[in-house]
Structure 1
């Protein structure tokens, strides 16, 4: 089990008990300046007070359980307009939207893709870049974000 999965298993139930959805978790290991970022979602939107409430609850659990060694900053945030995508279900919910995707390893000699999410085929994300469709294996996706449309 990965560190992120352990954090998800520990923290998501707390977020959900507070009646929010745990959209996703990022851990950015940057030496002494690491960041644990928790994205929360709610059908009525997210306020600063919501983030503060969730942050206090998570801090208490993190202090007791101590799942992350060393110093880090805890951030609780809304996914925002350029929301990161963490699961195949999230990709599926945003079919027809544009996304930027970075892979852990290259496919067809490239790691960066920006285009229209066309669908999901088994464990692959289908993205259309210009007039070509790529099947990107979900397990190779390092980072993915929706590209906001301001039209």
Structure 2
């Protein structure tokens, strides 16, 4: 397991009691290097959306645990935030939460002259995503999808 994966899994484990205590759920953990700096990003959510206070409480509690355990050798910047309304669906739990909701999808290559689709997410599995578009269910290969996210209408 790569160091990145090890750190992300460990942080997910350390977050369990912190998330429960603060009434939020974990959307994702990312440990990435950007422009010469390491970032540990934690994305949280809850019904009705998270507040700055939610992010602050989770961040402070996680900082204490990380300082005590000291599992990350490199200097890093900790960020705790909401994933945003237009977050991409990456993991199976993202797809599961989005069943029955409208999504926007972009393909790498055009299919029947179209690269972008808008429809309701009906189902998914490891290899396929099913959208209901104009009362018709259409099946797409997950490997063909460049981006899929919740549709946000203002």
TM-score by length of 2: 0.69
How many pairs align? 140
Unaligned runs of 5+ in 2: 110-114
Query: How many Å apart are 1:99 and its aligned residue?
Result: 4.1
CA contact (8 A) 1:23 1:79 kept: yes
Residues 143 and 22 of structure 1, relative CA distance in 2, 3 Å threshold: farther
Pair 1:71 & 2:63 matched = no
Mapped pair 1:98 → 2:103: yes
Q: Which residue of 2 aligns with 1:124?
A: 127
Aligned counterpart, 2:38: 34
User: 1:9, 1:142 → 2: CA distance?
Assistant: 29
Secondary structure of the corresponding residue to residue 29 of structure 1: strand
Q: Which residue of 1 aligns with 2:141?
A: 135
Q: Which structure: larger Rg?
A: 2
Q: Give, in angstroms, the shift of residue 81 of structure 1.
A: 0.7
C-alpha separation in 2, matches of 1:66 and 1:100: 40
Mark the CA change 1:93 to 1:62 in structure 2 (over 3 Å): closer, same or farther: same
Give the TM-score, by structure 1 length. 0.70
Partner Cα separation in structure 2 for residue 79 and residue 10 of structure 1: 19
Q: Does 1:87 align with 2:91?
A: yes
Return closer, same or farther for 1:114/1:58 CA change in 2, 3 Å cut-off.
farther
Segments of 4+ moved more than 6 angstroms: none
Displacement after TM superposition at 1:31 (Å)? 5.9
Please give the alpha-carbon distance, in whole angstroms, between the structure 1 residues aligned to 2:139 and 2:148. Answer: 17
- Structure-2 separation of matches of 1:124 and 1:54: 34
Q: SS of 1:34's equivalent?
A: strand
What is the CA distance between 1:77 and its match in structure 2?
Answer: 0.6
Distance in 2, matches of 1:144 and 1:67, equals: 33
